[in-house]
Structure 1
Amino acid sequence: MAALHYDAVVIGAGNGGLAAALTLADAGKRVLLAERHNLPGGFATSFVRGRFEFEASLHELCDFGTPGNSGNLYALFEELGVLDKIEFVTVPEAYRAITLDTGEDYTMPFGVQNFIDKMESYVPGSRESTTTFFALADECRRAMAYLTQMRGNPDTAVLKSEYPNFMRVAAYPIDKVLNAIKMPKKAQEIINVYWSYLGTPEDQLSFLHYALMVNLYITHGAQIPKNRSHGISCALADTIIEKGGEIWYNAEVEHIITKNGRVAGVRFADGKEVATEHVVSNASPHLVYGRMVDKADIPEEELKLANARSLAGRGVSMFLGLNKSPEELGLHDYSYFIYHSLDTKAEFGGMETIENPAQVTVCLNAALPDCSPKGTTILYFTSLYFSDFFGDIANEENYFEIKEKMANCLIDGFEKATGAKIRDCIEEIEVGTPVTYAHYTGAPQGSIYGYLLTGLDNMMPRIMCMYTEKHLPGLHFCGGHAMRGSGFNSSYQSGNLAAKFTLMDMKKEAE
C-alpha cells in the first residue's frame, strides 16, 4: 500500500466535495481533495469569452439571506469561515413567468406578504389559500429542523402534537396538497413556477420539498455572489488549504481500494495510490459503483438502490454576450421562467426533443449592473431534457448542427416571450450540452440535477433513511446525487453532512 496516508479523501471538488473537505479540515483532519479538472467548483464556476465573464450554472442561492434575515446556508458559510471572503448581492424579484402559448405574464416579489398580495391581484380569492400555503411551509421547515436535531429518530408524540399539519402533508405531492387547501388552479400554476429548479412535475414532487424551497426563497430572498459562483468555489478551496487540507487538481481517482470489506485507499489514473480509511464521494453512485469499486465489495442494498433511481434533468445552457444594454433591449427583470404553459406535467413530458424552447433565463445585469461593460448585457439560458435523446442522436458529424438548432430554439422562445430583439446584437455565444457537462464533471449522461426526486425517492425518505443506509464501510456520498437532492444549497449542505457522518465514523473507530 502507498506510503501517503490521509484521514480522509474527498473525490471531486464540486459544491458538495468542497464543503465536505472544508468541514473535515476544520475538524483538524488531514484531508485530501482530489479533482479531475484544473479548477475547483464543478458546475460552480465561470468562464470568459471576449469582454464577458459568464456564470456557468448558478441562477440564485436559496436559504442564504442577509445578515438580518439569514438562512441555513449563510450559517454554514459562517461556520466554515468563508462568509467574509465572498461578496453577495440580492436578486431584485422572485421570478417572472411567461407562457408562449397563451401569453400569460406574471412577476412575483420576495417577502411572504408581498407575494400573497401580488397573488391576490392576479387571482382574486387566492389570499386565504396562499396564506395557508406559507403557514404549512413554515411548519414543515420547523418540523424538518426537529428531525435533523433528532437524527432521523424523532418522538412520534412530539411530531403529532407540535407539527400535526406536517404529518398530514409529508407523504403527498404538491398538487394533492394545493387542491386540499382549495387553492385556485391559476394560483397553483403561478406558485408552481419554481418546479423546474427541482426538475419534477407537481404530481410527482413532494409538497414538503417544494414548499420548503419556495418558503426559503420568498422569506429570505435570493442572493448571488458578485464574482460568480467561481468566487464561492475559490473561497472554499482557499480556506481548505488555510486549514491544512490539500487539493490535487488534474487528479482523477480511478479506483477505491478496499481491504477486508471496507475502504482502504484510492488509486489515481496515473497509478499513484493513497491510503485512507474514509472516502467522501462527490462523484455519483452510478460512477462509483459502475467503475471505481470492485463488484464484490458493493453492498447489495446500495447497488439495488442506485439501479432503481432515474437520472433527473440533463442540461443544455446557452450564454450570450450582447452589445446592447438591458435598457435598450427592454429587459428589466432577473429571472425569466418561460414555458409553453404553466401545466408542469405537460411541460415535463415535452422536455424530450431538440426543439424545446422551455427555459429559465437570467439577465445578470439586473442584479449586477456592472457585471459586463457599459452598454452590454449578459444573458444565460438553461433548459432541461428528461431523457438521453441527446446521446441517441448526437455524433461527431451533427453535434454542432444540433447545438445550433437548440440555440435558435431558445433565442426564438425568449424573443417571443419578452419582445426583446436579441439575435442581432449577439457579440459572444457559447452553448453547453449534456456532452459538455459529462466531459467536465463526469455527470452521467450530462445530468445536472442528480437523481430524479419522485415518489418514495423524494427528499424526505432520503433524509429519513440516510442514518441507516448501508454504504461500503468508510464511504459516504455528497452532492446532487446524495440525500438532499440537487441544487447549490443542497449540495453544500450534503457535503457538510457527509463530512459529519465521516467524523462520527472516525470517533466510533477510535473508541
Structure 2
Amino acid sequence: MTRRKFLELVSILAGSALIGWTPEPGWAKGRKDGGFDAVVIGAGLGGLSCAALMARNGLRPLVIEQHDIPGGYATSFQREGDTGGTFQCEVSLHSTSAKSPDSRRLLSEMGVYDRLDFADHKLIWSRVEPDGILDLPPNGIAGFEALLAQRFPQEREGLGRFMAYWRKLLDELDAFQAKGMPALKVLFPLQYPTMWDVAGKSLGQVLGRFMADQKLKDMIAMTWGYYGLPPSKLAAFYYLIPMAEYLTHGGQYLRGTSQTLSDGLAAVITENGGTVLLGERVREILLKDGRAAGVRTASGKTFTARAVVSNAAAPVTFGMLPKDVLPREYSTRVSGFKPSLSSVIVWLGLNQDVTTIQPRAELSVELEPDPEVAYAAALRGDYAKSGIGCMIYDNLVPGFSPKDKSTITLMTLSGYEPWKRFEADYAAGRKHEYNLAKERMVKELVAVAERTILPGLSKMIVMTEAATPLTNRRFTGNTDGAIYGYDQTPDNSFRSRLENRTPVKGLYLASAWAAPGGGFGGALLAGKQAFKNLVEDLG
C-alpha cells in the first residue's frame, strides 16, 4: 500500500462522511457577543452554505458580496422581448440531483430544503444522434444497463462486468459510511477493494478495462460535459458516484430559478443573526499575528473577525494576501493547477410555445462522436464542433415564459484563450470587436440548434442575450472565467485537490476551487467542509 494512494482514499471518504457530520450540541455557547466570527468573501453557493451553517449553529457570519444580489453562478436575470413580455434567463442550473438522500440531508442542514420547490426532469438525459434522439429515463443502474445491453449486444459480457464493478463501488461506499475505516490501514484494500482500485484512475481508464466498443464507452460517459473534462482526463470516482445518483433519484430543477436557492440561503443567514452585505468588493485579507483577522474593501471599509472564509476563486483569494505569506511549496503546488473550462451561453426568447414541437427539457447535441475531439474544439472555441446543450425550461416549469412564448438556453464549454485577445478592450469598455465575435458565436449555436432540435428557430427569436468567458470572469471574478474551479483530473481530485483549510491560520476556502470540486453539490459541500474546519479550529 502506497502512502499517497491511502491518503487520497482517506480524502475521498472524508468527503462522503462529511454529509453526516454535525458539530457537538452547544459547542458555540461560549462565543463572545458583539463581533463577527467570520467574514465570508463572496455570496456564491460555497460562501452562502458555509455562512448558513455558521448562523444556524450559533456563530455570527458577515458575508460580503460585490454584486447587488447573492448567488454567483446560481442566479438568473430578466430581459424584455422585442414584441413584449419579460423572459427569465437562468444562468447555470440545468439539473441537480436534489432529492437523493445525501442532497436532501445537506440542504436540510442548511435550512433551505423546505423553502425550495423542485420540478422533476422526466428524463436523465436526451442526446441527439444521427438516427434520432436517445432518451435516458431515471430507471436506475439496472435500467441503464438494460438499455446499453440492447444497443451493444456484442459487449454484453464486458458491460456486465463493468456494471458489477460500479455497483460494488457504491456498495463499498455505503459500507464505509456505516462502518468507517478499518482498524489497520493495511486492511483497507481487502475491506474496500473497488474503492482502492478506482482511486487515481480516469473514467476512460476504468471503462477501457471492461469494454472495447468506443461508442458504448462514450454513451456511458455521455454527461462528461457536466464535469468539464473528457473521459481520458476526468477522475472516475468524481463521475461514477454522481451519475449513479442521477440514474437512481433523477434530476431536478428549481422553480423560481437557481436564484431561489441563493436567496433562501441568504435568508437563513440573516434570520439567524448573520449579515449579508451586498455591493461591496473585498480587496485585501488582513492578518494579525500571522492569522486571518478580517478584510478591507475597495471602498476602504475594514471588517474584523475571528476567521476569514473565501468563496472567491483560489488565485484571487491568494492575491488578496500580503506578499510571501504563503509557503513557497504551497504556492508552487497551487500554480501547477489548471482552471477548468469556461462556457458560452445564449439565452433566447421565442415568439411561440415550442413545447409541442420539442417536449424534452434538456438535450445535448454531440457534433463530434469522440469526446476528446469535442473537448479540444471547446478549448480553441470551435463551437461548430464542440457540441451544445439545450434547455427548454417551459417543459419543466409551465409558465416559465410569457403566455404563448418559450425560453431556451444554448450552452457549450469554451476555453478562455479564444476570448483572451479581447480582454483589455473589454475591461476598458471598447467592445466593438468583442461584440462581433459574440454575434458570430450566437449564430453558430443557433444554427446547430435549428438544424438538430428546433427547425425554424432563427425566425422565432424575439429576445437574445449571450455570455462568454469574459462575462463569467467579470461577474464572478473567477480566473479565466472558469465554471468548475480547478480541473477535476485524477491528479487534482480528493487528496491532491486544494484543501479547504489553507496554510494561513484562520483562512478557509469554500468554493469549487477547493475540495471536493465543482457543480452545485460540490460548492455546497465545500461550504460545509470549510465550516467543519472552522469549528474544529475555533473549538
In the superposition, the TM-score normalised over structure 1's length comes to 0.91
1:293-308 equivalent positions in 2, closer than 5 A: 293-308=321-336
Q: CA deviation at 1:134?
A: 4.4
Q: In structure 1, what residue type is equivalent to 2:135? A: T
Q: Does the CA contact (< 8 Å) of 1:323 and 1:375 recur in 2? A: yes
Q: In structure 1, what residue type is equivalent to 2:227? A: L
1:75 counterpart residue number? 105
Q: CA deviation at 1:419?
A: 4.8
Moved more, 296-305 or 76-85: 296-305
SS at match of 2:96: coil
Distance in 2 (alpha carbons) for counterparts of 1:173 and 1:56: 29
Q: CA deviation at 1:315?
A: 1.6
1:204-353 equivalent positions in 2, closer than 5 A: 204-290=233-319, 292-328=320-356, 330-353=357-380
Q: In structure 1, what residue type is equivalent to 2:378? A: M
- Is residue 109 of structure 1 aligned with residue 137 of structure 2? yes
Q: In structure 1, what residue type is equivalent to 2:297? A: F
Query: For residues 137-184 of structure 1, what are the alpha-carbon distances to aligned partners after superposition, in whole Å with 9 as ceiling and x for unaligned?
Result: 344345556777899998534532332122122221112211212363
Q: In structure 1, what residue type is equivalent to 2:96? A: L
- Give the direction of change, closer, same or farther, for the CA distance of 1:34–1:169 in structure 2 (3 Å limit): same
Q: Does the CA contact (< 8 Å) of 1:354 and 1:406 recur in 2? A: no
Distance in 1 (alpha carbons) for counterparts of 2:176 and 2:513: 21
Q: CA deviation at 1:209?
A: 1.1
Q: In structure 1, what residue type is equivalent to 2:226? A: Y
Q: In structure 1, what residue type is equivalent to 2:283? A: E
- Is residue 176 of structure 1 aligned with residue 208 of structure 2? no
Q: CA deviation at 1:114?
A: 2.3
Moved more, 213-222 or 141-150: 141-150
The number of equivalent residue pairs is 493
Q: CA deviation at 1:470?
A: 4.8
SS at match of 1:326: coil
Q: CA deviation at 1:303?
A: 1.4
Q: Does the CA contact (< 8 Å) of 2:211 and 2:217 recur in 1? A: no
- Give the direction of change, closer, same or farther, for the CA distance of 1:133–1:37 in structure 2 (3 Å limit): farther
2:83 counterpart residue number? none
Counterpart among 377, 400, 408 of residue 379 in structure 1: 408
Q: In structure 2, what residue type is equivalent to 1:250? A: G
Q: Does the CA contact (< 8 Å) of 1:240 and 1:246 recur in 2? A: yes
1:90 counterpart residue number? 120
SS at match of 2:260: helix
Query: For residues 378-412 of structure 1, what are the alpha-carbon distances to aligned partners after superposition, in whole Å with 9 as ceiling and x for unaligned?
Result: 11122111342201246423111111101011111
1:393-432 equivalent positions in 2, closer than 5 A: 393=422, 395=425, 396-432=431-467
1:197 counterpart residue number? 226
Query: For residues 338-361 of structure 1, what are the alpha-carbon distances to aligned partners after superposition, in whole Å with 9 as ceiling and x for unaligned?
Result: 122231111111113444042111
In the superposition, the TM-score normalised over structure 2's length comes to 0.86
Distance in 2 (alpha carbons) for counterparts of 1:214 and 1:137: 11
Distance in 1 (alpha carbons) for counterparts of 2:265 and 2:404: 33
Counterpart among 486, 490, 499 of residue 531 in structure 2: 499
Q: CA deviation at 1:122?
A: 2.4
Q: Does the CA contact (< 8 Å) of 1:95 and 1:334 recur in 2? A: no
1:484 counterpart residue number? 516
- Is residue 447 of structure 1 aligned with residue 475 of structure 2? no
1:137 counterpart residue number? 166
- Give the direction of change, closer, same or farther, for the CA distance of 1:77–1:504 in structure 2 (3 Å limit): same
Distance in 1 (alpha carbons) for counterparts of 2:178 and 2:296: 37
2:420 counterpart residue number? 391
Moved more, 174-183 or 150-159: 150-159
Moved more, 379-388 or 148-157: 148-157
- Unmatched 5+ stretches in structure 1: none
Q: In structure 1, what residue type is equivalent to 2:47? A: G
Distance in 2 (alpha carbons) for counterparts of 1:171 and 1:353: 28
2:76 counterpart residue number? 46
Distance in 2 (alpha carbons) for counterparts of 1:163 and 1:131: 20
Counterpart among 469, 494, 503 of residue 434 in structure 1: 469
Query: What's the RMSD between the two structures over aligned residues?
Result: 2.4
Q: CA deviation at 1:127?
A: 4.7
Moved more, 484-493 or 128-137: 128-137
Q: In structure 2, what residue type is equivalent to 1:225? A: L
- Give the direction of change, closer, same or farther, for the CA distance of 1:368–1:131 in structure 2 (3 Å limit): farther
- Give the direction of change, closer, same or farther, for the CA distance of 1:135–1:386 in structure 2 (3 Å limit): farther
2:64 counterpart residue number? 34
Q: CA deviation at 1:490?
A: 0.6
Q: CA deviation at 1:258?
A: 0.8
Distance in 2 (alpha carbons) for counterparts of 1:150 and 1:19: 28
Q: CA deviation at 1:272?
A: 1.1
- Give the direction of change, closer, same or farther, for the CA distance of 1:147–1:247 in structure 2 (3 Å limit): farther
Distance in 2 (alpha carbons) for counterparts of 1:371 and 1:153: 51
Q: In structure 1, what residue type is equivalent to 2:504? A: L
Q: CA deviation at 1:442?
A: 0.8
Q: Does the CA contact (< 8 Å) of 1:354 and 1:402 recur in 2? A: no
Moved more, 373-382 or 312-321: 373-382
Distance in 1 (alpha carbons) for counterparts of 2:215 and 2:183: 37
SS at match of 1:315: strand
Distance in 2 (alpha carbons) for counterparts of 1:140 and 1:114: 18
Q: In structure 1, what residue type is equivalent to 2:301? A: K
SS at match of 1:351: helix
Q: CA deviation at 1:420?
A: 2.6
Query: For residues 32-67 of structure 1, what are the alpha-carbon distances to aligned partners after superposition, in whole Å with 9 as ceiling and x for unaligned?
Result: 1111111011111111112211211111113x22xx
Query: For residues 78-106 of structure 1, what are the alpha-carbon distances to aligned partners after superposition, in whole Å with 9 as ceiling and x for unaligned?
Result: 1222111111111111111225xx56642
Distance in 1 (alpha carbons) for counterparts of 2:178 and 2:535: 17
Distance in 2 (alpha carbons) for counterparts of 1:27 and 1:145: 28
- Unmatched 5+ stretches in structure 2: 1-32, 81-85, 426-430
Q: Does the CA contact (< 8 Å) of 1:106 and 1:190 recur in 2? A: no
Q: In structure 1, what residue type is equivalent to 2:362? A: S
Distance in 1 (alpha carbons) for counterparts of 2:412 and 2:181: 35
Q: In structure 1, what residue type is equivalent to 2:208? A: N
2:43 counterpart residue number? 13
Distance in 2 (alpha carbons) for counterparts of 1:75 and 1:273: 36
Q: Does the CA contact (< 8 Å) of 1:139 and 1:165 recur in 2? A: yes
SS at match of 1:295: coil
Counterpart among 475, 492, 503 of residue 457 in structure 1: 492
Q: Does the CA contact (< 8 Å) of 2:345 and 2:466 recur in 1? A: yes
Distance in 1 (alpha carbons) for counterparts of 2:389 and 2:517: 19
SS at match of 2:144: helix
- Give the direction of change, closer, same or farther, for the CA distance of 1:480–1:154 in structure 2 (3 Å limit): farther
